[in-house]
C-alpha cells in the first residue's frame, strides 16, 4: 500500500448528455487551475467503466465528482462516503453509474478498495444529446472547488496552484 498514490480526483459522466458530463468538465477545469503532485492525481474518467479498475485500485483515497439525479434543486451539492451512497440513494439511473458501481464492487473483491468520497451535484438538464452544459452547472464550479478543497484538507493534502504567465 505504501507505493499507492494518496488521492485520485476522478470526474465521471457522459459529456454528450448535457449536465450529465459535469464531473468530466469539472476535472478538466480544475486541471487548468491546479497541477497534479506526487500525492494527488486529477483524472477524466468519462464513461470508461472497467477501464477505471487500475486507476481506482492504485490510490488510497478516491474523490469522485459526478451528477446525482434526485428530486432536488438543480445545482444542489452533496458529499457522501461510500457507505452513505450505497444505503441512502436510489438505484443508478444511467449506464455510467451502473458500470461505476460494478467497478467499485470489483475493486472491493480484489481487496484493493480505496476510501471513497462522492462529491455530487444535481443536474439541471440531462438525457438530450448536447455537448454543452447549462450555464448553472458552470456557475457551480467554484462551489464544487470549495467542497473539493475542503475534502483534500481533511486528507491533509493540498493542490498546487498553476502559476499563469
Residue 70 has what pLDDT? 86
Residue 99 has what pLDDT? 58
Residue 96 has what pLDDT? 47
Task: Place 107 in a pLDDT band, splitting at 50, 70 and 90.
Answer: confident
Please answer whether residues 44 and 156 qualify as being in contact, where contact means their C-beta atoms are separated by less than 8 angstroms. no
Q: Is the residue at 162 inside a domain?
A: no
| Structural domain that includes position 17 | 5-155
Residues of the chain with pLDDT > 90, as a percent, come to 59
Question: 164 pLDDT exceeds 80?
Answer: no
Q: What is the CATH number of the domain that holds 49?
A: 3.40.50.1450
Task: Tell me the β-bridge partners of 80.
Answer: 118
Question: 111 pLDDT exceeds 90?
Answer: no
Taking the C-alpha atoms of 28, 124, 87 and 56 in order, what is their torsion angle to the nearest 10 degrees? -10
pLDDT digit string, tens, across residues 56-77: 999 999 999 999 988 899 999 9
Q: Is the residue at 48 inside a domain?
A: yes
Q: Is the residue at 54 inside a domain?
A: yes
Residue 91 has what pLDDT? 54
Q: Is the residue at 73 inside a domain?
A: yes
User: Which whole number is the average pLDDT over 71-89?
Assistant: 83
Q: Is the residue at 87 inside a domain?
A: yes
User: Which whole number is the average pLDDT over 131-157?
Assistant: 96
Residue 1 has what pLDDT? 45
Report the number of distinct structural domains present in the chain: 1
Q: Is the residue at 160 inside a domain?
A: no
Q: Is the residue at 71 inside a domain?
A: yes
Q: Which residue has the cell 455510467?
A: 96
Cα separation, 98 vs 40, whole angstroms:
26
Residue 105 has what pLDDT? 76
Q: Is the residue at 93 inside a domain?
A: yes
Residue 2 has what pLDDT? 54
Amino acid at each position: 500500500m505504501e507505493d499507492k498514490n494518496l488521492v485520485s480526483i476522478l470526474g465521471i459522466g457522459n459529456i454528450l448528455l448535457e449536465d450529465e458530463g459535469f464531473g468530466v468538465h469539472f476535472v478538466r477545469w480544475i486541471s487548468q487551475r491546479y497541477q497534479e503532485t506526487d500525492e494527488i492525481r486529477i483524472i477524466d474518467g468519462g464513461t470508461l467503466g472497467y477501464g477505471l479498475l487500475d486507476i481506482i485500485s492504485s490510490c488510497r483515497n478516491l474523490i469522485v465528482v459526478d451528477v446525482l439525479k434526485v428530486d432536488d434543486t438543480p445545482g444542489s451539492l452533496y458529499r457522501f462516503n461510500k457507505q452513505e451512497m450505497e444505503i441512502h440513494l436510489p438505484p443508478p439511473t444511467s449506464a455510467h453509474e451502473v458500470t461505476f458501481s460494478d467497478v467499485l464492487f470489483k475493486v472491493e473483491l480484489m481487496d484493493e478498495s480505496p476510501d471513497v468520497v462522492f462529491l455530487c451535484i444535481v443536474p439541471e438538464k440531462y438525457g438530450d444529446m448536447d455537448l454543452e452544459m447549462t450555464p448553472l452547472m458552470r456557475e457551480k464550479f467554484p462551489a464544487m472547488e470549495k467542497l473539493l478543497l475542503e475534502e483534500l484538507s481533511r486528507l491533509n493534502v493540498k493542490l498546487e496552484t498553476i502559476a499563469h504567465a
